[in-house]
Every structure is written in structure tokens, then in C-alpha cells.
Structure 1
Amino acid sequence: MATRHVLKVVAFVLVCNLAVFRADAASSYHLIKTIKASDSQDTWDFQTIDQEGRRLYVSLLNDVIVINVDTGEVVGKIPKTSGVHGVAVAPEFGRGFISVGHTDSVVAFDLKTLAKIGDIKIGKNPDAIVYDPASKRVFSFNGDSGDATVIEAGTGKVSCTIDIGGKPEAAAVDGVGNVYLDIVDKNLVLQINSRTMQVQHRWSTTPCDRPTSLDIDTRNFRLFIGCRNLMLGVYDSRDGHFVTNATIGDNVDTTAFDPATGFIFSSTGDGIVTIIHEDTPDKYSVAEVLKSHDGSKTMALDLKTHQIFVPSGDVRFLPPEKTGGRPKKTIVPGTFAILVFGP
């Protein structure tokens, strides 16, 4: 692990204690504002920022809340998206795409009006979803059927279904025709050719265990993979070889890379965001361990302002609806908010 000894020790202690460590003033993130986005009791999943349109899409259980990134104003809602997981935007077509788990579909919508364009039937329980500008296609990764559905962004038509051989989690694109995907139950990362719609490589993520988040540094050919064994693994995006790793918090769900600052953000369910700096393509140092909110394991990064948007809320469990069932996870009314952190 290419991190200075002192920072390694400090980061480890603070991850355990959920404290805040700031390496120096220049790299220090802090809470800028809190956006009260909804009174919903629904839990949340992935967030997506339309960098051009300046909108944040927040996936709740049954709706997508849309927020103006620059003002914090709630500008709309996309309802009736039961089991929503994620949102992908295709600005050149003026369309967005929502993975809707309970209906095994992707909902296409208009980016300006937020009006629904149509439902696209796909595999079972779609989860992560990304738009690839190189092929002009949307890739929806379906958790229960272990496959990926490829959709033409301009028409909404399904082009292909790709067998991915495992349970997908996070995905990222490099802009030149490669889609990268975590396979959490096999400890793999896949490289998919977006033009041929074929899996080109399956690489092991060892020593990174249970990969659940992913982003990419396209200039230096580095994949950043967040795993559930308190590790961020760094890999070469060209051949998949392991480069190094850094310590992060528990129960990671989002990793994001800011190419302008060299910061990598990993948000975890224990209520922290670990900020790691890419000193060189082969050397990484923990810059800050930022306290967010317990359970806030997803986030979105604004590449313009370098701010991160972290959903938060006080979680409670209601009794099972049926005998022997699982307790229902909900949010205490009035506590859901988006925490905005910035330098």
C-alpha cells in the first residue's frame, strides 16, 4: 500500500472511530449546506449528476427526486418508478434512463420536462445503469438474471443481452468504447466492448473482496474499485493487474474520481467518506476521512464545483408485513436530506 506510514495509522484509527481527519487545509472538505429534498420515508440508492444539465437525480424507493445542483432547489420528481436503483443520462439525445427493479424495466424520460417517454422491458431486477457516449448506448446491469441489457439511447430499442456470469454492482465507462463492471459474488471486474457488445476480459479483483463500487482515471488507465473488506483497490484498466490499495470504511457503495484534483471519494455505510489522493498513478495517500451520516453509503460528485452530494436520513425498521418476513427499512419522516460537502 503506497501510503505514508503516519497517514495509514491515522486513517485506520479514524475509520474505526468514525472521526474526522483532515490532512491539511488545502484538501479539507466540510459541510457546505443541507438540502431538504423530500419528506419521503423511502430509502435511497444511487445518485447521478447530469454534469451538463446541472441536475442531480436522487433515487428513492418509488420516485426520482430532481435537484438543481447549483441552487439546491428541487425542480421536479419522476414518480411511479418502484424499486428504482439508478439513473443514466444521454445529453446528446435529451433523454434519461432509470433502472426500475420491481418492474424489470428501464424508464426513458425527457431531460428537460422529466416526462416519461416509455418503458423498456429488460432482465430481472436492473441495478446499475450507465450511458456510453462512444457507442451511444445505455447498459443496464440486471442483478437477478445475471446479464446486461444494451439499449440504443436514440431509439430506446434493445440491441442485445450480454451474459455477465454473476451479480453486477457498479459500472463505469472510459469514453472510448470500454465499459467496466464489478461482479460482486465472483470478485471480478469485467471489461466490455461497447461497440461489439461482448465481454473482452474478466479480471480478478483479489485482494479486493466483494467489489461494489467503481470509477476510472482515463488519463492514467487506473480503475478504482471499492470493496467490502475495507479496501479500495487500484488496477490497470488495460490489463487488469493489481497496482495498490488503500483503507476505506465499512460497507462501501460508491467510489468517484475527480480528474481535476486527483481525489478519489469512497462513501461507506458507517457514515464516512474516505478521500484519497492520487499522488502518482502508482502511489496514493489518504487525504481525509470525512464524517457524513450513518447509512450514507452512496453519493454523487459534481466535477464542476468538486462538491459531493451525500443522501442521509435516520433509518428505522418497521415490523414485517407477513409472519416470518423481513423488517421493512424506512426513513424517519422529516429526516431525509442531501448533505453537500466541498473544499
Structure 2
Amino acid sequence: MKHSLLMGAYVLCFAVAAPAFAFDGWHQENAATIESKTSAFDYVAFDAGTNRLFIGHRQEGLQVFDLAAHKLMKVVGDTTAHSANGATLMPEFDLGIANNEDGTITPFKISTLEAQPSLKVSEEIDASHYDPASKHIFVNAAAGKDGQDIVVLDAPSLKVAGTIRAATAKAEGADVDGKGNLYLAEQDLAKIAVIDTKAMKVTAEWETTGCGKPTAVASDAVNKRLFVGCRSKGAVKPALIVINTETGKIIYAAEIGDGVDGTVYDAELKRIFVASGVNATLSVFEQQNADTYKLVETLATRQWVKVLAMDRKAKKLYSIVAEGSADAGKKINTAVSPYYPNTVFPNTFTVLTYSK
């Protein structure tokens, strides 16, 4: 009996003293389904000042979602006619722009959502990226056989300041370091282009070996690191890579789910979040120091959850999704996946909230 009591006490002490497993416990906090038609969708952007999410819902326009009430507020201007891919927000000017598939941008006030007439910038637009250091907006414009134009606009005037000819024909995500550099994913070349935001020119290109298709980018300016979410290409598996921005060298790589389109870094939490829409995963990595990273957990989400926005104060992540199908009788975007959905079911569009 005495032996059993001692053993029980030992086990109890061991259990109390044992270190906790480093598991954050991210989970889906809310799913708000809104009335919708059959449009595809792309990027999301979060505005902390209004606690709103701006959603690029293509032919259903740039939609504004109230995150406190979990309901759709408004569609910005005439963006349904221009097919909105998403929004770029510049709170310092109370200015946002919808990035439209037809090559226009639609300016609006973030506070009132009042829209101005749409402006033609290119033949098509995927996304744009704002750099507060130079007050320049970099627009991923139409691609040609010998490269792609990055149209540079002044903020807040939205006048054209210049054009950068990038070698890529598939410019994707980008982020800035606040020190005059913009890092642009050149998906088809498997490279990162470094752009001087004031001089408006490409100053370097970095190879992303082991990264099939660099797609989603997030910058850690303090530690001079760049986080790149990569889709698969041939035998090269999807991965998160970390680049030292002083040298352009890859210092870390880890496998993730495929179909990534969203990478977010939170400096306070020391976490990198990667959303992968084909495998329906949200990977969470810990930044232990500038050169050391570890996978904390991989959350099961839903297929098509591929973009991310973050409320860094409330520590919540936002994404969008809908139910759909890969109709074999219609063209499928096989560059993403052989079964990538090309048909969206009505009234299934959902805004997702993830938290700890």
C-alpha cells in the first residue's frame, strides 16, 4: 500500500512537472454564410479601424462584411460590373481601392464606403500592394509574352507614377518591409523579385529552390526575413520557405498543404500562418528566433480556404469559402489542381473566423 501511494505521488509530481506540449489550439470560431450567387472569389483585406472585412467576390463585387455583427453590409460602388478581385487599404488616407478583373480600380473611403468612379489602369488586374514608405501602390497588371507590367500609382492621388517591367508573366503576392523594398512572388519563374519602391525598379531576383511556385508572401522587417508560401510544381512539393533578405538565401523549408494563397506573419505571437486551399489546411509555424522555425500545428479547414487576413489586436484570422464542384464538362484550372472547383453553388458563400 505504501509503495502504491509513493508511486502515485511520483506519477502526480511527474505529471505536474512535465512541460506542456507546444500546441496553440487554433480552431474555427465562427462561420457566417451569406446570400450569394455563383461567383468565384479571391482576396480578403481587414481594416482594424472599422472592424470590417473587404472581400473580392468577383462578379458580386467588393463586399464589405461587418465582423462584429457577422453580416454583409454593402457592396462598394459599381464593382459588380468590374468583377472585384479584392481591395488594397490605405487607412492613413481613409482610402481603399477595389482591384478589378477588367483592369480598373474603384477608389472609396474606408470610413463611409463612398465610392468614386472607376479608373482604367490596365487590361486586367489581379492585385495591388501599398508601400507606406514611398506612398506608392504597385498594381499587378496585364502580362505579356516577355513579362508583366507593374503599374505604380501615387497615393492618395492615384496618378500613374511609373511602370516597372517585371520578367515574370505571373506576378502573385507581395509584401513590403517599410524600408523601401517590396518583395514580389514571380510564380512562373520560381523567383522573388526585389523592387526599390522609391526608384521604382527591380534591384534583385532570388531563386526559390525547393519552392515550386512562390505565391503568398509575408515580411518580417525586424529580423530581415521573408516568408513565402509555395504551391507544388511537378515533383516539388508545396512548402513554406524562409528567406534571409540580407542575402537572398533560403534558411528554412517545410512541407505544407497545396493550393496556398495566403501567408500571414504576426510579430507579437511569433507565428506564421499558411492557408492551403487544395488540401484544406491551415499550417501554424513558430518563429523561435530569426533562423529557427517549427511547425506547431496543422488545422483542418475546408477546401478552397486559401486566402487570409488577420486582426492582429484580437488575434483572429479570417478567410472565405463556398461549396463547389469540379465540373468535368467545363475548363478546370489544372495549374492549381486537377480537381480544382470551377462551379460554385449559390447561397453557400461563407466568411470564416479562426482563433485560439
Smaller-chain TM-score range? 0.7 to 0.9
Does residue 105 of structure 1 match 2:141? no
User: Does the aligned pair in 2 maintain the 1:309–1:340 contact within 8 Å?
Assistant: yes
Partner of 1:35: 32
CA distance in 2, matches of 1:219, 1:60: 34
User: Which residue does 2:301 correspond to in 1?
Assistant: 292
SS of the residue 1:61 aligns to: coil
Match of 1:263 among 271, 278, 283: 271
* 54, 63, 71: which one aligns with 1:73: 71
Aligned partner of 1:169 among 160, 172, 176: 172
Aligned match of 1:49: 46
Offset from partner CA, 1:196-220 (integer Å, 9 cap, x none): 1111111111121110111011111
Greater CA drift, 298-307 or 256-265: 298-307
State the number of aligned residues: 316
Q: Is residue 140 of structure 1 aligned with residue 145 of structure 2? A: no
Q: For residues 188-244 of structure 1, what are the alpha-carbon distances to aligned partners after superposition, in whole Å with 9 as ceiling and x for unaligned?
A: 101111111111111111121110111011111110001113100100122311111
Gap regions ≥5 residues in structure 2:
1-19, 233-237, 333-340
Deviation at 1:81, TM superposition (A): 5.0
4+ long deviations beyond 4 Å: 23-26, 317-320
1:326 Cα offset (Å): 2.7
Query: 2:42–2:307: 8 Å Cα contact kept in structure 1?
Result: yes
Does the 8 A contact of 1:246 with 1:284 survive in 2?
no
Q: Give the Cα separation in 1 of the matches to 2:54 and 2:93.
A: 17
TM-fit CA distance, 1:26? 5.3
Give secondary structure in 2 for the equivalent of 1:92: helix
Once the 2 structures are TM-superposed, how far is the Cα of residue 151 of structure 1 from its aligned partner? Answer: 0.9
Alpha-carbon distance between aligned partners in 1 of 2:125 and 2:164, rounded to the nearest angstrom: 13
Deviations 1:83-114 (A, max 9, x none): 3222111112111012111x212221121222
User: Contact 1:128–1:168 (CA<8 Å) still a contact in 2?
Assistant: no
Contact preservation (8 Å) 1:179, 1:192: yes
Other-structure match for 2:255 = 247
Q: Is the 8 A contact 2:141 2:149 kept in 1?
A: yes
Listed one character per residue, the Cα deviations across residues 32-56 of structure 1 (whole Å, up to 9, x for unaligned) are: 1112234232121011112333221
Q: Deviations over 1:239-283 (max 9, x none)?
A: 311111111101111111111101111111221111111111111
Contact 2:28 2:352 in 1 (8 A): yes
Q: In the alignment, what sits opposite 1:339?
A: 352
**Contact map agreement 1:124 1:144 (CA 8 A) in 2:** no
For the residue of structure 2 that corresponds to 1:232, the secondary structure is strand
Tell me how far apart the structure 2 counterparts of residues 250 and 60 of structure 1 sit (CA, whole Å): 22
Q: 1:281 to 1:81 in 2, by over 3 A?
A: farther
SS of residue in 1 equivalent to 2:92: helix
CA–CA separation in structure 1 for the residues paired with 2:223 and 2:304? 32
After TM superposition, list the pairs within 5 Å mapping 1:86-235 onto structure 2: 86-101=86-101, 103-145=102-144, 146-166=148-168, 167-229=170-232, 230-235=238-243
Q: Distance in 2 between matches of 1:127 and 1:76?
A: 22
- Alpha-carbon displacement from aligned partner over 1:260-317 (angstroms, at most 9, x marks no partner): 1011111112211111111111111111110110121112121111111121211135
Secondary structure of the corresponding residue to residue 80 of structure 1:
helix
Amino acid at match of 1:191: V
Asked whether the equivalents of residues 128 and 171 of structure 1 are also in contact (C-alpha less than 8 Å), the reply is: no
Distance, in Å, in 2 between the alignment partners of 1:162 and 1:81 is: 28
> Cα 1:266–1:318, aligned 2, differ >3 Å: closer, same or farther?
same
Sequence identity percentage: 28
TM-score, normalised to structure 2, is 0.84
C-alpha distance in structure 1 between counterparts of 2:74 and 2:226, whole Å: 34
Separation in 1 of the partners of 2:202 and 2:252? Answer: 25
Aligned partner of 1:273 in structure 2 is 282
- Is the contact made by 1:123 and 1:148 (CA closer than 8 Å) also made in structure 2? no
2:310 aligned residue: 301
Partner letter of residue 174 of structure 1? D
In structure 1, list runs of 5 or more residues that go unmatched. Answer: 1-22
- Give the secondary-structure state (helix, strand or coil) at the position aligned to 2:212: coil
Larger radius of gyration: 2
Q: CA RMSD in A?
A: 1.9
Cα distance in 2 between the residues matched to 1:97 and 1:264: 27
Amino acid at match of 2:273: F
Relative distance call for 1:94 and 1:81 in structure 2 (3 A) is: farther
SS at match of 1:304: coil
The aligned amino acid for 1:249 is G
Contact conserved, 1:231 with 1:246, CA < 8 A, in 2?
yes
Distance (Å, rounded) in 2 between the aligned partners of 1:263 and 1:70: 25
Partner of 1:82: 82
CA distance in 1, matches of 2:307, 2:23: 24
Matched residues in 2 for 1:210 and 1:53: separation? 35
